[in-house]
Chains A and B, each alone.
Chain A
Amino acid sequence: MNQEVNKLQELLARVKRNAALPRTIVSGRAPEPSAPRNEAPPVAFSAPKYVPPPTELTAEDMFFQSEPPPPPPAVASTPTAIPEPPVVQPRATLDDSVDELLLEDPFPSHPPPAYGEALPDPMHVSPGSPSPLDHEEDVSGVVAISEFADEQPEELLEDDIVEMTASEAASLPAVTHTLDELSFEDVDADEKRAPPSSEEEPPASSSRSKIAGTMDEALARAAEQIDLEEDREVPLKTPPPESGPQAAVAMPQGMQAPNAPDIDELLEADILPNTGVRVAVPTAEQLGQTIELDEARGPSLELDQPAAASAEPLEPEAPAEELEITLPGRKYAGDYQADLMPPPEAREDLDAHRQRQGEDSVPPPPESLAQYPSQRGEAQSSAFAPVIVPATVSTDSYSESVSTVTVDAPPNAEFAPELLARPELGPSPVAKFIRTEAPRPKTFMELLDSSLALGSD
């Protein structure tokens, strides 16, 4: 019991001591298949002999073996080969150091066997040999080696970090380089391989220059930079945004920055219109020389209605609502002026009509349908006798359906209008119908009776 306590105390002390030491990543490889499962090499033509597993597997039994598994034996051509029983790691004794056990490399450093060696050709495998594990059906954690060629662990797990003792760390090549003494041999080699670009000026968007080590060196670089920029032409294009600050350089010849606009001119331009009459409009300077005129002298003038030219009033004063101009009235309503001429297109037709009527003289002007011909003053000189308003107009009719209109001509009329009326017709039957109100008799007796009744009063 005391020994165990001592051992634990010693172990604790070592752990504390090792905690101060730097840790080194030993390996990031995938773990090797567990020994108990892969130790039995496939044997052709013979079923593997069943080996009962250990009665109880503890955590210590599951430690990785420090030695790599033996290479798979060559496929025997004879089925008589008997596979060796699986080797079970003997249980470590309590005397073994825990640190040694922990520091044992669970992943051997020797390279994994080639794919061809690890997985024999399935064509040569005997039917009795175990078939290669299927990835999908693999539940034992054994993964084909080919998968590790493409898939690497992205992160290092806690198990991947291996603590080392001081002695083991000493065996490793000592790290004597500091940050300042880092070797960039690869970079230098690349630069050496690249073609020499002597005296090549850095581009405008080049990276920042190196920080000068001393003040003298910085001043020297600044002077060189000024000289280079004076000789270099500034590109007209906009420098990329990633470029650093650039010094303002002089504009090339022929280019000049616009001058600042005159505020007065701008104000004046805003006040005056943008038209061509700007010349005639006084400027702002001229406005200050405006001469103000005095008030008008004499009586004040007022606008009034002009007086009538003659003393005779043309017409009595009309009321306010009759101030509008009244068109000259005509003698008769519905009449029109006699001097109106027919349209030119109707003149030919009118002349042809008059020739047919035998009227070679000047035809009378057209008369209005709303006026009797006798009421026109222009027609009084014609051959037609003037007829004034008819004296009487009577409506005589023998019946209500026939009506005649008689116009009594005036006594001075030479030609009285001739009115024709329909001849008088006496009342006479136009049609005769015999009504057969009686329905058709059903029996001969009815017809006989009705016929006997004819002519009886």
Chain B
Amino acid sequence: MSLNFDPSYALEFDFGRGQIRMANASERVVIPCDALLALCRGASEEAVRDFGRRLGTEAGRVMNDRLGEAWQASLETVLEHLGGELALMGLGSLGLERWGQALVLSFSHCPLGGAGDLLLGSVLEGAMQRSFGRDTVAIKLMRDDQKVRFLLAGHAGARKAGNWLSEGVPWGDVLSRLATRGAS
């Protein structure tokens, strides 16, 4: 399970055919970020989420193909392989944080900016569904210039956290509240 992610020859550019292939995957299309963002802005939220989940499902499938049994994979292994696949999509650098019992995933250096946070969250949800078979909700805890954090929680927890976040509760207090209420 400690198999390292090897991006060598992950992309195959066929200039004769004008195609870009990803290893063990279908053809890719390289499009400008602004165009994608413009599409996302014009689409509905549900459409963006669905678009994003499809991207995540594809990443999760590739990871499972690499790891074999992803449910036994450690934190580092999942981060390495999932992050590698998302990096090949050009969505940024994936990070993992553990706040008590809360699982927090982050993206750094994402070219989409803040406009693509919904898309990024949907990608994570699609990857968790495809890799581990769990229905998760990615709630954006914070966003700065470089990084965006998403809390992976259930539906109940995501609802509470969303309410606290809408009330202006710092994301740290949200995490502590979730930990306190969850334990009580």
Measuring CB to CB, which residues of chain A are less than 8 angstroms from any residue of chain B? Answer: 434-438, 440-445, 447-457
Q: Which B residues are in CB contact (< 8 Å) with A437? A: 183
Contact of A455 among B70, B79, B160, B176 (CB under 8 A): B160
- Closest A residue to B182 by beta carbon equals A454
Closest chain B residue to A436, Cβ basis: B100
- CB <8 Å contact, B100 and A443: no
Q: Collect the chain B residues with CB atoms within 8 Å of residue A449's CB.
A: 134
Interface residues of B in 50-102 (CB under 8 A from A): 70-75, 77-79, 98, 100-102
For residue B159, CB closer than 8 A to chain A, the reply is yes
Contact A452 B73 (CB under 8 A): no
Chain A residues whose CB sits within 8 angstroms of the CB of B182 once the complex forms: 453-456
Known: A441-B75, A451-B101. A456 touches B132 (CB 8 A): no
B148 contacts the other chain (CB 8 A): no
22 contacts between A and B (CB under 8 A): A436-B100, A437-B183, A438-B100, A438-B101, A441-B75, A443-B72, A443-B73, A443-B74, A443-B75, A444-B73, A447-B101, A448-B103, A449-B134, A451-B101, A452-B153, A453-B101, A453-B154, A454-B102, A454-B157, A454-B178, A455-B157, A455-B160
B73 contacts which chain A residues (CB < 8 A)?
Answer: 443-445
**Which among A435, A436, A442, A456 is the interface contact of B157 at CB below 8 angstroms?**
A456
Bound state CA distance, A449 and B152, in angstroms? 10
Point out residues on B near A: beta carbons under 8 Å.
70-75, 77-79, 98, 100-103, 128, 132, 134, 136, 151-154, 156-161, 176, 178-179, 181-183
**Which listed residue, B98, B154, B176, touches A447 by the CB 8 Å rule?**
B98
Known: A454-B178, A455-B181, A456-B182. A448 touches B134 (CB 8 A): yes
A457 partner residues in chain B, CB cutoff 8 A: 156
Residue from the list B74, B102, B156 in contact with A451, Cβ < 8 A: B102
**Is the CB–CB distance between B75 and A444 below 8 Å?**
yes
Given contacts A444-B78, A444-B132, A450-B101, 17 further A-B contacts (CB under 8 A): A434-B100, A436-B100, A437-B183, A443-B75, A444-B75, A444-B79, A445-B70, A445-B71, A445-B72, A447-B75, A447-B101, A448-B132, A449-B134, A454-B102, A455-B159, A456-B157, A456-B182
Closest to B101 in A: A450
Assembled-state Cα–Cα distance A449/B98 (Å): 13
Out of B71, B77, B152, B183, name the residue touching A452 (CB < 8 Å): B152
| Contacting residues, chain B, for A441 (C-beta < 8 A) | 75, 98
Q: How far is the CA of A441 from the CA of B79 in the complex (A)?
A: 14
Contact of B128 among A442, A443, A448, A456 (CB under 8 A): A448
Minimum CB–CB distance from A447 to chain B (whole Å) comes to 5
Cβ contacts under 8 Å, A454 to chain B = 101-102, 153-154, 157, 178-179, 182
Complex: A453 Cα to B153 Cα, angstroms: 7
How many whole Å from B179's CB to the nearest CB in chain A? 6
Q: CA separation between A448 and B176, bound complex, in Å?
A: 17
**Within the assembled complex, what's the spacing in Å between the Cα atoms of A455 and B152?**
12
Q: A449-B134, A456-B156 are in contact. Are A434 and B151 (CB under 8 A)?
A: no
**For residue B157, which residues in chain A have a CB less than 8 angstroms away from its CB?**
451-456
Contact A452 to B179, CB < 8 A, known contacts A444-B77, A457-B156? no
Which residue of A434, A445, A451 has the most chain B CB atoms within 10 A of its CB atom?
A451
A450 CA to B101 CA in the complex, in Å?
6
In the complex, what residues of A have CB within 8 A of residue B72's CB? 443, 445
Quote the shortest CB–CB distance from A190 to chain B (angstroms): 140
Residues in B with CB closer than 8 Å to A443 are 71-75
Q: How far is the CA of A440 from the CA of B79 in the complex (A)?
A: 16
CA–CA, A424 to B90, complex, Å? 61
Closest B residue to A434 by beta carbon equals B176
Known: A443-B72, A447-B103. Contact between A455 and B161, CB under 8 A? yes
Closest 6 CB pairs of A and B: A455-B157, A451-B103, A444-B78, A450-B101, A452-B154, A454-B157
- State the Cβ distance, B170 to closest chain A Cβ, in Å: 13
When distances are taken between beta carbons in the complex, the residues of chain B under 8 Å from A452 are 134, 136, 152-154, 157
Residue of B nearest to A452 (CB): B154
A445 in complex: contacting residue of B102, B132, B160, CB < 8 Å: B132
Q: Could you tell me the distance in whole angstroms from the C-beta of A55 to the nearest C-beta in chain B?
A: 132
Q: Which residue of A lies closest to B98 (CB)?
A: A447
Q: How far is the CA of A397 from the CA of B43 in the complex (A)?
A: 67
Determine the residue in chain A with the shortest Cβ distance to B133: A445
Q: Could you tell me the distance between the alpha carbons of A160 and B74 in the complex, rounded to whole angstroms?
A: 137
- In Å, the complex CA distance between A457 and B154 comes to 11
Q: Which residues of chain A have C-beta atoms less than 8 A from B102's C-beta?
A: 450-451, 454
Give every chain B residue within 8 A of A448 (Cβ-Cβ).
103, 128, 132, 134, 136, 152
Across the interface, name the chain B residue whose C-beta is closest to A441. Answer: B75
Kindly list chain A residues whose C-beta atoms are within 8 Å of the C-beta of B159. Answer: 455
Asked if A451 contacts B151 (CB within 8 A), the reply is yes
- In the bound complex, what is the Cα–Cα distance between A223 and B9 (angstroms)? 170
